[in-house]
Amino acid sequence: MNEYANIVFPIPVDHAFTYRVPEELRENLKVGQRVLAPFGRRRLTGFVVELAERCDLTELKEVADILDPEPLFAEEMLQLCRWIADYYICPLGEVLKAALPAGIHLESRRMVSLGTEVSADLLPDMERRAPRQALILRALMAKSPLSMAQLERKVGARGVSCAVAQLQEQGLVQVEELLPKAAVGVRTERWIVLQDGRSPEEWHTLVGELTTRAPRQAECLRVLLASEGYKTSLADLLRAARASGQSVAALLKAGLVRVVHREVSRDYYDRVPIPEAKAVVLTQEQQQALDVISQGLSAGTFSALLVHGVTGSGKTQVYIEAIRRALSMGKGAIVLVPEIALTPQIVARFRAHFQNQVTVSHSRLSPGERFDAWRRIRKGVHRIVIGPRSAIFVPVQNLGLVVVDEEQEATFKQMDMDPRYHGRDVAVMRAKLNNAVVVLGSATPSLETFYNAQTQKYQLVRLTHRIDHVPMPEVTIVDMTAERRAGRPRQPVVFSRLLEQKIEEKLSLGEQVILLQNRRGYATFIKCRDCGHVEQCRNCNVTLTFHMHDHTLRCHYCSFTKRAPTVCPNCGGTDILFKGTGTQRVEEALAQLFPQARVVRMDMDTTKGRRAHDRILESFERGEFDVLLGTQMVAKGLDFQRVTLVGVISADTGLFFPDFRAAEQTFQLLTQVAGRAGRVDKRGEVVIQSYSPHHYCLRFAQHHDFQGFYLQEIEDRRILGYPPFGRLAVVCFESVKEEKAARAARSFFDLLPKEGAPFRCFGPLPAPLVRLQRHYRWQVVLKGAKNRDPAGRAMNGALRQALQRYQKQHKDQSVSLAVDIDPVWML
């Protein structure tokens, strides 16, 4: 029997704590469970990561309780989380917490209620067998439901949860998790059941008697008698019997029926109709990709594959067929997609093939919906999960296949909190630990992934044609410097003559247009013409964006908002320039030029609601609008059949960002949005406007030349030692006081080894965005070899050591610190 347990807590402490396991919990304690354990003066929820028979330590505290009937983490998930903790330098407890759906909240309140079919006859026997359980049942028979805390007060704290879990397994009690605010956890529905004890003949006599006196009640009984198991949900009953709640209440009172609570599964996507599955014969290229995947699945060993195929080349169809293979072998699958691409249409497409085997894990779901999804998968009810990066943690049974679609997307990287993991890289690791096949798909793979394919770390399959041989669009680049010279002075040129003319043409043909401007708001900043004053956010070191509809200046980093001044706050001048073009200005220009066009704008400002984004795309697809205008959101998601023109208002917005991935990301965005133009019978057209029309990034995008772009870009990376040739790590220090952030960064920098280290340290320097949300930010950047190399390990090791020493020396709570390994956003 294991007497000791090593437990980690979701706190910023990088090691496990050993506890003694009291006798009565030993039998039920398993690795991967949550437990309650004394910690300092509090009791904390922790995760059991190891059990041991012996321990040299003395004076150990005891585990107070076990919180889950079954482990939440299987061994393979624990292993994955250990890898994440190690690679991304994050405490294991925090990784484990992040790997659970938000619904299983650590601070949740749990309510226990008596099962509907429990009778007191059980008690005598149970009192002999399991006295704790019997005590709990007795308490619940007196009053149900009770919160866990109430139960503890009634029967004593130790082992309550564990005993409740066992009762739950026997179906004698139900447990609901309540979040501090909204109720999450199991949602139940009221069902009405005929009371036992009468034969069908007796029932029919009764119904006959009731019919004249209380026809609605009689009708309710008739419906129940005809229902399977003599029960039906209250809602269905009322509908079928055309009865009111009063009739049912009367039946209840007469003791003829009773109420039971049945668990229902909440599912956001249930509301979307499932289309019919198209039976397709794979093209030769698709078949080749499928063969490679199938081989991997049959072999039951790890393999990784990059499917590089232009948009519309049938990648998704390959994923679908691969999942079918996996299912037929009894294996499960995870499909990661960028959050924004997770439209009901994509989900419906998977559902068309796999019906209700598919579960969606999505941040737009309510916590309850997400919790249910997680449980369906864990129970093996569903074997396919689609979701954004966090879906990689879903406990799919016997995982055989992991797909990462649009693997280059930055949204796979968690940037704003620990663990700052990359969903794609975790996917590869999870596949490795499960002997599964991982498929990365993209039209514009990241340099890292394509390099891995070039160096045979991943197999490469190309899909070179669009399905039905839809031609690639014709791309024209317009030099905006020339356009400006031709235009009126002081007036910003939104549309070049070419783009204007093309829009007009498409509108008159009744075809659809997509316009991309990757900046929201009206003007990106306002500037006084007299003194040059530019309005800045008072919390952040950035300019404020002008929003036309309510005449405000807004910060896009902290949401600070103020009324736009009509006179310069600096010199009192009244000649204020609205510089830079956001989506709202494009919308305005469009309305002036084409007042008849039906335009829908899609950016962060118009997609606030839970389903707003889907609704815009759906209505555009139905043809309710002629023009879809917006930020990078318009480049992703749905496929549109009637779009024949794509216009990029300014390709320069992202091109000169102080980030080594600026060109790569611009190339990807341009390629993606260009891919939305064209259909079977008509070649699409794309117009890209730019003040740097000769930039290699635009030229390669113009010719749909990924390979050319890759070869040029990879050389720069090689020379500079950037990924994929090296690894970066950013340690960022934040404080409301700039000196504090700077001092912390400096002392951390001093703790890093410099002489002879196989990596280089840069800094300490103010971050490019030195102030965000009132916090000054200073950075130390490390650049070293890849992790696979011993030298890469050395970088992680040195970083961890420096962090430990730093944390010992610096107890200043007012400086926060974040470690970002393989950062994708370095501003």
The residue to which tokens 């009770």 are assigned: 146
| Residue 280 in the binding site for ligand ADP (CB under 6 A) | yes
560 lies in the binding site for Zn ion (CB under 5 A):
yes
Residue 640: CB minimum distance to ligand ADP, A: 11
User: Residue 217 binds what, of ligand ADP, Zn ion, none (CB under 5 to 8 Å, by partner type)?
Assistant: none
Please say which residue, 246 or 355, places its beta carbon nearer to ligand ADP: 355
Interacting residues of 402 by C-beta distance below 8 A, sequence separation 6+: 333, 334, 335, 336, 392, 427, 428, 430, 431, 436, 437, 438, 439
Query: From the list ligand ADP, Zn ion, none, which binds 604 (C-beta under 5 to 8 Å, kind-based)?
Result: none
**Could you tell which of Zn ion, ligand ADP, none binds residue 283, using a CB distance below 5 to 8 A set by kind?**
ligand ADP
Query: Residue 705 CB, nearest distance to Zn ion (Å)?
Result: 39
Which CB, 64 or 544, lies closer to Zn ion?
A: 544
Q: In the set 316, 414, 518, 779, which binds ligand ADP (CB under 6 A)?
A: 316
Q: Which is nearer to ligand ADP, 48 or 333 (CB)?
A: 333
Segment interacting with Zn ion (CB under 5 A) among 320-328, 366-374, 535-543, 719-727: 535-543
**Among 203, 557, 578, 691, which residue sits at the site for Zn ion (rule: CB under 5 A)?**
557
Q: Which of 296, 312, 368, 630 binds ligand ADP (CB under 6 A)?
A: 312
Among 66, 168, 80, CA closest to 430: 80
- Of 167 and 544, the one with the shorter C-beta distance to Zn ion is 544
The least distance separating ligand ADP from the CB of residue 311, rounded to whole angstroms, comes to 5
The CA-based diameter of the chain, rounded to the nearest angstrom, is 98
Q: Which two tokens stand for residue 401?
A: 């296949």
Distance of CA 192 to the CA centre of its chain: 38
Contact pick of 286, 414, 524, 666 for ligand ADP (by CB under 6 A): 286
Does residue 770 interact with Zn ion by CB under 5 A?
Answer: no
With CB under 6 A as the contact rule, the residue among 103, 309, 445, 784 that binds ligand ADP is 309
Does 509 help bind ligand ADP (rule: CB under 6 A)? no
Type of residue numbered 305: L
Encoded amino acid at 722, one letter: Y
Strands (E), 203-338: 231-233, 257-264, 303-309, 332-336
b/e map of 656-682 (b: 16 or more CB within 10 Å)?
A: ebebebebbbbbbbbbbbbbbbbbeee
| Residue 313 binding result from ligand ADP, Zn ion, none, given CB thresholds of 5 to 8 Å by partner type | ligand ADP
Site residues for Zn ion, 657-716, by CB under 5 A, read none
C-beta closer to ligand ADP: residue 136 or 677: 677
Give the phi and the psi of residue 73 in degrees, each rounded to 5. -120, 125
Question: 3-state SS string over 455-493?
Answer: CCCCEEEEECCCHHHCCCCEEEEEEHHHHHHHCCCCCCC
**Termini Cα distance of the chain:** 52
Contact (Cβ atoms closer than 8 angstroms) between residue 562 and residue 555? no
CB-nearer residue toward ligand ADP: 411 or 570: 411
Q: Pick from 198, 278, 538, 788 the residue near ligand ADP by CB under 6 A.
A: 278
Looking up tokens 């896009």, which residue turns up? 556
Does 311 contact ligand ADP by CB under 6 A?
yes
Nearer to Zn ion, 553 or 627 (CB): 553
Nearer to ligand ADP, 311 or 650 (CB): 311
User: What is the token pair recorded at 778?
Assistant: 């200073």
Among 537, 553, 649, 824, binds Zn ion (CB under 5 A): 537
Show the tokens assigned to 7. 């437990």
Q: At what angle do helices 344-354 and 612-621 cross, to 10 degrees?
A: 80
Q: Give the one residue of 132, 187, 216, 315 binding ligand ADP; rule: CB under 6 A.
A: 315
Decide: is 534 part of the binding site for Zn ion (CB under 5 A): no
Radius of gyration of the chain (CA): 31
Nearer to Zn ion by C-beta: 535 or 713?
Answer: 535
Residue 596 contacts residue 543 (beta carbons within 8 Å): no
Write down the least CB distance from residue 427 to ligand ADP, Å.
18
As measured in angstroms, the least distance from the Cβ of 313 to ligand ADP is: 4
Tell whether residue 473 is a contact of ligand ADP (CB under 6 A).
no
Q: Which is nearer to ligand ADP, 311 or 414 (CB)?
A: 311
| Interface with ligand ADP (CB under 6 A), residue from 250, 341, 467, 597 | 467
Residue 411 is classified by DSSP as G
Is 322 or 628 the residue whose CB approaches ligand ADP more closely? 322
Is residue 558 near Zn ion by the rule CB under 5 A? yes
User: What SS3 class is residue 53?
Assistant: coil
Which of Zn ion, ligand ADP, none binds 518 (CB below 5-8 Å, type-dependent)? none
Instruction: Compare residues 220 and 470 and give the one whose CB is closer to ligand ADP.
Output: 470
Identify what 560 binds: ligand ADP, Zn ion, none; CB under 5 to 8 Å per kind. Answer: Zn ion
Q: Among 69-77, 229-237, 281-289, 815-823, which window interacts with ligand ADP (CB under 6 A)?
A: 281-289
Q: Are 559 and 552 in contact (CB under 8 A)?
A: no
Contacts of 160 (CB under 8 A, 6+ apart): 65, 132, 136, 148, 151, 152
Contacts of 107 (CB under 8 A, 6+ apart): 45, 180
Q: How far is the CB of 457 from ligand ADP (least distance, A)?
A: 23
Asked if 317 is part of the footprint of ligand ADP (rule: CB under 6 A), the reply reads: yes
Contact status, residue 792 vs residue 625, Cβ threshold 8 Å: no
Q: Which are the contacts of 652, defined by CB distance < 8 A and separation ≥ 6? A: 690, 691, 692
Which does residue 433 bind out of Zn ion, ligand ADP, none, counting CB within 5 to 8 angstroms by kind?
Answer: none
Say whether residue 631 binds ligand ADP (CB under 6 A): no
Report what 555 binds from Zn ion, ligand ADP, none; CB cut-off 5-8 Å by kind: Zn ion
* Minimum CB distance to Zn ion, residue 540 (Å): 3
CA dist 771 and 537 (Å) reads 10
Q: Which residues of 47-64 are buried (b: 16+ CB within 10 A; e: fewer)?
A: bbbebeeeeeeeeeeebb
Closest approach of ligand ADP to the CB of residue 387, in Å? 17
3-class DSSP state of 42: strand
Residue span binding ligand ADP (CB under 6 A) among the ranges 65-73, 273-281, 558-566, 772-780: 273-281
CB of 219 to ligand ADP, least distance (A): 48
How far is Cα 775 from Cα 737, in angstroms, rounded to an integer?
7
Q: How far is CA 604 from CA 130, 388, 542, 633, in A?
A: 57, 18, 18, 9
Verify binding: residue 324, ligand ADP, rule CB under 6 A: no
Pick from ligand ADP, Zn ion, none: which does 558 bind, CB < 5 to 8 A by kind? Zn ion
Our CB check for ligand ADP shows the closer of 182 and 279 to be 279
CA 666 to mean position of chain CA atoms: 23
What letter would DSSP give residue 229? G
- Report if residue 539 touches Zn ion, rule: CB under 5 A: yes
Nearer to Zn ion, 562 or 788 (CB): 562
Question: Given phi > 0 = left and psi -120 to 50 = alpha, else beta, which region is 327?
Answer: alpha
Which range touches Zn ion (CB under 5 A), out of 523-531, 555-563, 628-636, 638-646? 555-563
110 binds, among ligand ADP, Zn ion, none (CB under 5 to 8 A by kind): none
Burial class (CB in 10 A: 0-12, 13-18, 19+), 523: buried
Q: How far apart are alpha carbons 406 and 209 in whole angstroms? A: 67
Pick from 223, 304, 540, 602: which binds Zn ion (CB under 5 A)? 540
Contact positions toward ligand ADP, by CB under 6 A?
A: 278, 280-283, 286, 309, 311-317, 467
Contact positions toward Zn ion, by CB under 5 A?
A: 537, 539-540, 555, 557-558, 560
